[in-house]
């Protein structure tokens, strides 16, 4: 169930932003931005719900909440807030990378 939750949200992307289904007028930059933030939002939500990111380091509750909030902001059709959320997601990924390396060094 936790793995499938982000998939259930995809229809809501279409409602919030019709660019996902190629409706309305938009530029190629808007198209790329919407898809980039959508994919990043799904990744953040999946990581927050499952408790793992790419380095297989377990996430604590604070990190999971940060990822969930980041996912909500990325999914919403906001421009500047999505940029801040992308930066937050990148910083969380770097944090988890070093956290995973530190954990692997102890074993």
**Each residue's pLDDT expressed in tens, for the chain with a length of 107 residues:** 767 887 787 787 778 778 878 888 888 998 899 889 989 998 999 899 888 888 677 899 999 999 999 999 988 878 899 999 999 999 999 998 888 777 656 55
* pTM of the predicted structure, to 2 decimals: 0.83
Indicate the Cα dihedral angle 18, 1, 37, 35, nearest 10°: -50
Residue 19 · residue 34 · CB < 8 Å = yes
Segment (H or E) for 89: helix 80-105
80-105 vs 61-75: helix crossing angle, rounded to 10: 150
């Amino acid at each position: 169930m936790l793995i499938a939750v982000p998939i259930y949200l995809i229809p809501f992307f279409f409602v919030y932003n019709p660019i996902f289904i190629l409706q309305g007028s938009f530029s190629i930059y808007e198209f790329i931005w919407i898809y980039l933030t959508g994919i990043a939002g799904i990744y953040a939500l999946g990581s927050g719900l499952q408790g793992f990111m790419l380095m297989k380091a377990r996430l604590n509750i604070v990190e999971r909440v940060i990822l969930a909030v980041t996912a909500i902001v990325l999914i919403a059709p906001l421009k500047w807030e999505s940029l801040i959320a992308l930066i937050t997601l990148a910083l969380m990924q770097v944090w988890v990378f070093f956290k995973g390396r530190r954990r692997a060094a102890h074993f």
